[in-house]
């Protein structure tokens, strides 16, 4: 098959490093003299399962055609063949993390964590165990268990293990911590974390796990505290104070405090002058965490929350309506002010000026009559008016309406009074009745 149709398996680099040094040169000399005798194992699409080093050398030597054996298998079977064949051929690859990834895949593929290979559960002789995984990667059973655990490390810590800076025993202790704590610890200490001994790392893990349990208890107590505060009973006051003291004690021992103390300790051990500012900053941060006030968690029942939301919507509607009403009131106020000025001018003997009328402002007696009837109906409450009630109304208006609006009211009432006097006079003349109201 043409070498240009082949491609490396995407997970090959996760599981194996390329050959280097004398081993690689020896294989290269053999292929240069004898050619590629063993076919490369590939998938139908040209993905290489076994033979990555032969493929690499063939490209270097300019070999255009290579022998292949095609395997039409599932992705899981293909990944298994990738590991199984290379374990036999490649031999040495001592990167702990690559071994850890291979061990994890074999454990899942063989179903070791579930008690055996599901695909062969009826054939007892084919069931696999942790010992089989250990044999496959060339490690003891104890080391294999440790390596599988290393897959729980965050990528930054896995890189330290691959580089040999962080030992597998110490790394295993860190792998038991949650990813959040691992990341915070790495951000605080950096590669300094690799300088801890196994005993120091184990003790650090113990302290952090205890601190994390205390944080969980803190969250539980804060929820209980919020519930007691919501109920607001006098008999719960002493219990609330006890909970607050307990929460403060737990906060002083949180895993964040432990992590910052570790960073502080590392900086002090180095004793560099340039670290003094960071040391002072860490000391302040630790002190703040230990002495921070107990968080108050407000718990609002759903029914109350729904009622609050309904009132918010109602308030928004009223605010919008108020804005529209104010705009309309301003327009009316401007019109009333102009009319009032005109009345004053006419009373002072000013000449009547005929103003040009636009079509939409022409007098419509039917429309005015409708508004007159509506006005008379709206003011029917005046039939029940007496001085006491009128005084009460004035006091109410003075409290509820601002000065500007009251002045507009006054102007409107003056205009209404002029209108009422004129209408009374004209109606009395027509009905031949004496005037009852004197202007």
Residues contacting residue 85 through CB under 8 Å, at least 6 positions apart: 41, 49, 50
Q: Is 166 left (phi over 0), alpha (psi -120 to 50) or beta?
A: beta
Looking at residue 70, the DSSP 8-state letter turns out to be E
In degrees, to the nearest 5, what angle opens at C-alpha 207 toward C-alphas 202 and 210? 125
Within 10 angstroms of residue 296's Cβ, the number of other Cβ atoms is 10
pLDDT exceeds 60 at position 383: yes
CA torsion 253-257-259-261 (nearest 10°) is -100
Exposed, middle or buried: residue 56 (CB in 10 Å: 0-12, 13-18, 19+)? middle
Highest mean pLDDT: which range of 248-252, 260-264, 332-336: 332-336
pLDDT in tens, 407-419: 777 788 888 888 8
Higher pLDDT, 203 or 62: 62
pLDDT digits (tens, 9 = 90+) for 303-362: 555 656 666 776 777 777 777 777 777 777 777 677 767 666 766 766 655 544 444 455
Q: Which of 154-168, 244-258, 289-303 has the lowest mean pLDDT?
A: 289-303
- Distances from the Cα of 88 to the Cα of 18, 81, 168, 265, angstroms: 15, 11, 24, 47
**Burial class of 255 by CB neighbour count within 10 A (0 to 12, 13 to 18, 19+):** buried
Q: What are phi and psi of 428, to 5 degrees?
A: -65, -40
Write the CB contacts of 207 (distance below 8 Å, at least 6 apart in sequence).
258
Q: Read off φ and ψ for residue 47, nearest 5 degrees.
A: -70, 130
pLDDT confidence band for 258 (50 / 70 / 90): low
């Amino acid at each position: 098959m043409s070498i240009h149709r082949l491609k490396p398996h995407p997970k090959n680099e996760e599981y194996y490093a390329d050959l280097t040094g004398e081993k690689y040169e020896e294989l290269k000399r053999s292929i240069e003299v004898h050619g590629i005798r063993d076919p490369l194992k590939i998938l139908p699409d040209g993905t290489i399962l076994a033979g990555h080093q032969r493929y690499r050398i063939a490209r270097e030597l300019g070999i255009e055609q290579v022998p292949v054996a095609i395997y039409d298998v599932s992705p899981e079977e293909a990944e298994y063949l990738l590991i199984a064949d290379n374990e036999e051929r490649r031999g040495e690859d001592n990167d702990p993390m690559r071994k850890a990834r291979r061990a994890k895949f074999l454990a899942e593929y063989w179903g070791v964590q579930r008690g055996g290979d599901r695909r062969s559960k009826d054939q007892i002789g084919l069931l696999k165990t942790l010992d089989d995984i250990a044999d496959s990667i060339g490690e003891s059973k104890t080391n294999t268990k440790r390596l599988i655990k290393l897959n729980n490390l965050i990528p930054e810590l896995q890189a330290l293990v691959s580089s040999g800076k962080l030992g597998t025993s110490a790394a295993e202790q860190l792998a038991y911590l949650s990813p959040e704590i691992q990341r915070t610890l790495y951000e605080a200490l950096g590669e300094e974390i690799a300088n801890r001994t196994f005993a120091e790392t184990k003790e650090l893990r113990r302290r952090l796990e205890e601190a994390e349990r205390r944080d969980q208890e803190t969250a539980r107590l804060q929820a209980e505290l919020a519930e007691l505060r919501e109920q607001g009973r006098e008999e719960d006051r002493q219990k609330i104070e006890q909970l607050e003291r307990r929460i403060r004690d737990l906060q002083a021992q949180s895993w964040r405090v432990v992590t910052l103390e570790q960073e502080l300790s590392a900086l002090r051990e180095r004793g560099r002058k340039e670290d003094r500012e960071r040391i002072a900053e860490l000391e302040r941060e630790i002190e703040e965490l230990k002495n921070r006030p107990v968080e108050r968690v407000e718990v609002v029942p759903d029914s109350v929350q729904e009622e609050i939301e309904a009132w918010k919507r109602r308030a928004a509607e009223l605010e919008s309506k108020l804005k529209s009403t104010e705009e309309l009131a301003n327009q009316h106020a401007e019109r009333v002010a102009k009319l009032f000025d005109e009345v004053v001018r006419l009373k002072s003997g000013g000449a009547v000026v005929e103003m040009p009328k636009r079509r939409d402002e022409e007098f419509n007696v039917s429309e005015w009559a409708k508004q007159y009837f509506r006005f008379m109906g709206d003011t029917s409450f005046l039939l029940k008016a007496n001085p006491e009630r009128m005084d009460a109304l004035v006091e109410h208006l003075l409290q509820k309406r601002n000065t500007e609006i009251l002045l507009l009211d006054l102007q409107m009432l003056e205009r209404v009074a002029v209108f009422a006097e004129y209408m009374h006079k004209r109606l009395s003349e027509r009905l031949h009745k004496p005037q009852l109201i004197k202007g």
